[in-house]
Amino acid sequence: SGACWHCLTHRLWGHRHAEACVQEELGHAGPARRPMPALPPLTSAAAHLVALEAAKWVAGYRYHGQQCVWTLDTLDLQ
């Protein structure tokens, strides 16, 4: 039911001509490496916030914000 994964990879790589030229010039094979989607210190900070909220809940501390989804803008930490 369609092309194999190898054929699909080959076809998608063929559509990335500019990247392929740069990779070839650098002597690298295949697509360029992508940056990590998250920074370890921010992942750690998020884990600590989750642990803090869990500890509050276990201790019996309840407030309206516990039913909301929290977001953290890592640019200005708000």
User: What distance, in Å, lies between the first and last C-alpha atoms of the chain?
Assistant: 48
Q: Which of 8, 9, 31 is nearest to 18 (CA)?
A: 31
**Residue 75 in this model has a pLDDT that exceeds 90:** no
- The residue extents of the domains of the chain are 1-34, 38-78
Q: Which of 25, 26, 27, 29 is nearest to 10 (CA)?
A: 29
Going by pLDDT thresholds of 50, 70 and 90, the confidence category of residue 1 is: low
**Residue 70 in this model has a pLDDT that exceeds 90:** no
Q: What's the whole-number average pLDDT of the chain?
A: 85
Query: What are the tens digits of pLDDT across the range 24-60?
Result: 889 988 777 888 788 888 889 889 999 999 999 999 9
